[in-house]
Amino acid sequence: GRARAECAALEEKIRKSRAEMDSREAAHRAVEAKHAHVEGELQMLNTLYVKQTLLANASASRVEQLEGQLVTKDELNKSLQGVIDDKQKEQGDGLRAMQSIIDGKELEIEKLRKEAVSTSSEQ
């Protein structure tokens, strides 16, 4: 009778140990799953960061490109002033058109500059 009671007690201990081990394995698998999920999110954020960086660089180089195309107002006014003196009416209209093109390019540069700044500050 005593041997049977000891055997039953040992079987109960083994059952409890197995249950605890199963519980630990399940917890371990849950941690691994969470780790994989976090890893996936990290990769996604990394990809997003790379895309944002490329976008910021593209915006910055576009600003540089436009600045390179832009003739300063002073240079433009000096070169056109002689022509305006000769043909006031005709060339006056041309200058205003040029001026609005320059103003438009300057606005575009300013907009792109702001986009580049806001894009890089988001990172």
Burial state string for 36-48 with b = 16 or more CB within 10 A and e = fewer than 16: eeeeeeeeeeeee
Q: What is the pLDDT of residues 2-25, one digit of tens each?
A: 999 999 999 999 999 999 999 999
86 vs 18, higher pLDDT: 18
pTM, full prediction: 0.38
Q: Which of 102, 46, 48 is nearest to 70 (CA)?
A: 102
The Cα–Cα gap between 69 and 13 comes to 83
